[in-house]
Structure 1
């Protein structure tokens, strides 16, 4: 049986929500939307890409989420060693080599932690990987601004493509704007 090919459409890159930063996401709003688990990208979403460890601010945010019944799991394209070092002090689980925008890493996470698509949200700073992967898995997504303005070379290419895609999304969905929290 041949596998049917699917054409990539503009809506494949449309985030459910756009929030200024991870720190603006409230557990109350997540719960209102039936979400109890955040799947988060690592680099430039949870910590700066050029920082191998988290900050006190991210530790406080994770603790706050946990205290409010929200689980946090890192889903990263990075190798296990890099991700392990980065999240060790944060005391949160992770899945590495996620291969976003493919759905492999997210599906692996859902299976490993016995989660359903309706109870999770993918948070990331890239339309071309994080948001597309979430849409490939039929889960909600939150696009956040990158923590730092610099990027590794491959990400710079994605940022260029992302700017083109976002302009087209904005034209199709004029109300697609950065917010202070999910609505």
Structure 2
């Protein structure tokens, strides 16, 4: 595996709403390790979009076990959102390090190979998920407002995606994870 392959997501989606949690569960996935900022809601925001709330509820109904895995330095905010969604959370997970992902998978009772990591950043969510052997899904960020460090990381991500032959963003008409084969790792 070449160095760049560590950053290749298993799948891409315009947003979480384009991810078919039922199809993932039917493929044997159980854990749903979700990033918070710019994946479920805008950075620093506390108003959870109804679409995110509905998607998490539908994922739970499909048999998936979601958990928030976030690098946020604001655990009160993370725990508030986790409470709103009625799911557990791993604060200060230090992605792309393994520990946060391992703790999240253990919390929901699954092996990392049965987990799906969903996030908007290659250098934290996707790289970290790939490091632990999870299935990774890269989504477009839902808002342009970001931490300055993230803005710098985005420049590197665009270069990496270009070298991988992938666009920086995917369109909303993308058919995401409807019939993906989990053996495509």
TM over 0.5: same fold?
yes
For the pair shown, the structure with the greater C-alpha radius of gyration is 1
C-alpha spacing 1:8/1:88, structure 2 compared with 1 (3 Å): farther
CA distance in 2, matches of 1:32, 1:64: 14
Q: For structure 2, which runs of at least 5 residues remain unmatched after alignment?
A: 181-185
Segment drifting more, 28-37 vs 15-24: 28-37
1:43 equivalent to 2:74? Answer: no
Q: Secondary structure at the match of 1:101?
A: coil
The alignment's TM-score, normalised by the length of structure 2, stands at 0.86
1:26 aligns to 2:1 (yes or no) = no
Q: Deviations 1:84-103 (Å, cap 9, x if unpaired)?
A: 12222111111011100111
Q: Whole-Å Cα distance in 2 between the matches of residues 124 and 106 of structure 1?
A: 13
Q: Is the 8 A contact 1:48 1:148 kept in 2?
A: yes
The runs of at least 4 aligned residues of structure 1 exceeding 6 Å deviation read: none
Aligned equivalent of 2:97: 102
Match of 2:131 in 1: 136
Residues paired across the two proteins, number: 173
Change (3 A) 1:103 1:8: farther
Unaligned runs of 5+ in 1: 1-6
RMSD: 2.0
TM-score (norm 1): 0.87
Give the equivalent residue in structure 1 for 2:8.
14
